[in-house]
Amino acid sequence: MSKILRSLKDIKKLQDEERKGTVEQCWEMFEKTKDPECLAVIAERMPYFGKPEVGAKIAELLRAPYKRKPLKKGIGYEIDKKHIRKNYNMLIAEYPDKQKKWRLSVLNEWFPNYTVKAIEQIID
């Protein structure tokens, strides 16, 4: 197995572990608070067979009755910050030769509800 393929499998494994942790944390919080934002965060993190727009739409529908501004505080935001920083550090470790702009674009794909500028503010 090539080194690149092994690295990609390691990244996928880390992403799966991150998702599992997010689901566990958000579900526990949902059971305590009944806050639908917790379910929306779970929906956004699931890959839906390569169709992230499915999770985004589910999250949008869950949030619709509350019509909130983009996350800037609360449990959902704190979870996102943690995951964005962790994934950014993983990208640095796995791809030290890539530029920051590339890493930010990857994170923007993984966290589509955040602009590149918002992600940059989180990691700085």
Percent of the chain with pLDDT over 90: 16
Q: Give residue 31's pLDDT band: very low, low, confident or very high (50, 70, 90).
A: very high
| Cβ(104)–Cβ(115) below 8 Å | no
Structural domain containing residue 33: 3-123
Question: From CA 14, how far away is CA 90, in angstroms rounded?
Answer: 9
Nearest to 26 by CA among 71, 70, 80, 69: 80
- pLDDT tens column, 60-113: 888 877 654 556 677 878 888 888 999 999 999 989 898 999 999 889 888 877
Number of independent structural domains in the chain: 1
b/e map 60-92, b = 16+ CB within 10 Å: eebbeeeeeeebeeebbbebbbebbeebbebbe
